[in-house]
Structure 1
Amino acid sequence: MLIVKQDKTRKEEEGQIFVELTIYRDVRNIADCNRLGYWCDKAHLSHFIMECAKCFTQDELKNILKMNGNNIYIEKNNLLDAYKKGNADNKKMLENLFGKEMFRPKNIMERIKTFDDAFKELGEHHPLVKEYHKRHLFLEDDSDISSDLVAYLKLRIITAALNEGWTPQFTEDEYRYFPWFWLYTKEEIAKMDKEERKKVVLFGGDAFSGAYAGFAFAYSSDAPSNTRADVGSRLCFKSSALAKYAGEQFAEIYFAFVGK
């Protein structure tokens, strides 16, 4: 028999939950039988429960949770902690019981770490995803197509996914953000360590090649009016935190887009 008791008068670091195994299964016969017990915390108990759950099928687990018509309540934080620490089988079992959405990170920056993540976030029916499918087939068949064109399509998808449906409204009080990349001299690059150099892309040509490289740059100085747009709205973000994250997390794609 398994006996679990909680004693909140104990110190948390000493464990407030006592888990005990007895040699007999009947509660009437456990007084003098052999037993093994120890004090633990909820994290250890969660791991113990997951290991035990491996012995049951999905339907059996559902029946256990519905046993005697009683509801079993599990604190969400403990459930998420158990999922985080569990192996692939543990995670699958918990997803089957509580649904994948329960364990899906709420913060978009935690969900999107790769281009594939952004692709899946938007879904197959999103207009940008459909466009990427069509253009990508064409791009793969033509080796003369420049890599910056592919990178732009990817950045459109990444930007849309991170913005979670937000698009610029161009109102007077609206702010839009974009990643900003510094230009370095050869001397400055020589002083960098290996990790810092990974974030550097080498440009050729004049200052505009790097400073405005490809971000829908339009400049007219000889016409009656002077108009410029350093960054196109399609690659802007709704917050500075998202812009900073995108520039760091997807640096290689940005470099492929703005580089020469």
Structure 2
Amino acid sequence: MTTKININGKDVEIILTPEQIEEVKKVNLKITDRVKNFADAFRIAGASNDLKTILDYNGQDKDMIAAQAHAKVGIIAKALNEGWFPDFSNSNQVKYYPWLKYSPGVGFSCGVCVGDNADSGVGSRLCFKSEELARYAAEQFKDIYNDLFN
């Protein structure tokens, strides 16, 4: 499909495939509308080859499952934060992380989200730039958080 775009005040005609048009449409969506599952987060954030080794693990070892879940939560945070990284040398920057509650038979659920601007009890890669994103991650990816903590 041929379409026109404006670059530096000049109209330019480009040809896009239907797949490319869908990708362009997705860019205008909120990040929470674009990241509905881990595959979406992975597509946006990617992973190194070393990290892919952990992601490919398919065994029963609880420590490896927790390590894999930690890697997944890091990728999810990276995708949802859209390039924002917590700066722990900046005590004025508020960082958010889910405060999870454990219920027997249910697992972990997001009770509240905590904003912290001085010190954090969670890994820096697992922080979010807003309360909305921290809550969304905990609720949307509760199975992965359960794997991380169980």
What TM-score does the superposition give when structure 2 sets the normalisation length?
Answer: 0.69
1: CA distance, partners of 2:128 / 2:71: 16
Q: Match for residue 19 of structure 1?
A: none
**One-letter amino acid matched to 1:96:** P
1: CA distance, partners of 2:19 / 2:32: 26
Give 1:98 shift. 7.6
- 1:234 equivalent to 2:128? Answer no
Q: 1:96 aligns with which of 10, 14, 18?
A: 18
**Aligned in 2, Cα 1:250/1:164: closer, same or farther, shift over 3 Å?**
same
Task: Answer yes or no: is the 8 Å Cα contact 1:179–1:243 preserved in 2.
Answer: yes
1:171-210 residue pairs with structure 2 within 5 A? Answer: 171-184=90-103, 200-201=106-107
- 1:133 equivalent to 2:52? Answer yes
2: CA distance, partners of 1:257 / 1:98: 35
**Aligned in 2, Cα 1:144/1:237: closer, same or farther, shift over 3 Å?**
same
Aligned residues between the structures: 126
**Aligned in 2, Cα 1:173/1:154: closer, same or farther, shift over 3 Å?**
same
1: CA distance, partners of 2:141 / 2:19: 34
Measured against aligned partners, the alpha-carbon deviations of 1:145-204 in whole angstroms (never above 9, x if no partner) come to 5321111111111111111111111212111111112244x7xxxxxxxxxx7xx317xx
Structure 1 runs of 4+ off > 2 angstroms?
94-102, 128-132, 134-137, 142-146
Question: Which structure shows the bigger proportion of residues in helix conformation?
Answer: 1
**One-letter amino acid matched to 2:41:** A
1: CA distance, partners of 2:130 / 2:139: 15
Task: Answer yes or no: is the 8 Å Cα contact 1:168–1:176 preserved in 2.
Answer: yes
Q: Match for residue 34 of structure 2?
A: 111
2: CA distance, partners of 1:119 / 1:101: 15
Q: 1:144 aligns with which of 61, 64, 73?
A: 61
Q: Match for residue 122 of structure 1?
A: 45
2: CA distance, partners of 1:129 / 1:156: 12
Counterpart of 1:182 in 2: which secondary structure?
A: strand
Counterpart of 1:180 in 2: which secondary structure?
A: strand
Q: Match for residue 148 of structure 2?
A: 257
**Aligned in 2, Cα 1:97/1:251: closer, same or farther, shift over 3 Å?**
closer
Q: Match for residue 158 of structure 1?
A: 76
Q: Match for residue 13 of structure 2?
A: none
Counterpart of 2:125 in 1: which secondary structure?
A: helix
Query: Which structure has the larger Rg over C-alpha atoms?
Result: 1
What TM-score does the superposition give when structure 1 sets the normalisation length?
Answer: 0.42
**Aligned in 2, Cα 1:242/1:96: closer, same or farther, shift over 3 Å?**
same
Gaps of 5+ in 2: 5-15, 109-118
User: How much identity, in percent, do the aligned residues show?
Assistant: 36
Measured against aligned partners, the alpha-carbon deviations of 1:209-244 in whole angstroms (never above 9, x if no partner) come to xxxxxxxxxxxxxxxxxxx85211110101100000
CA RMSD in angstroms, aligned pairs only: 3.0
**Aligned in 2, Cα 1:252/1:238: closer, same or farther, shift over 3 Å?**
same
2: CA distance, partners of 1:145 / 1:258: 10
**Aligned in 2, Cα 1:244/1:143: closer, same or farther, shift over 3 Å?**
closer
Task: Answer yes or no: is the 8 Å Cα contact 1:122–1:129 preserved in 2.
Answer: no
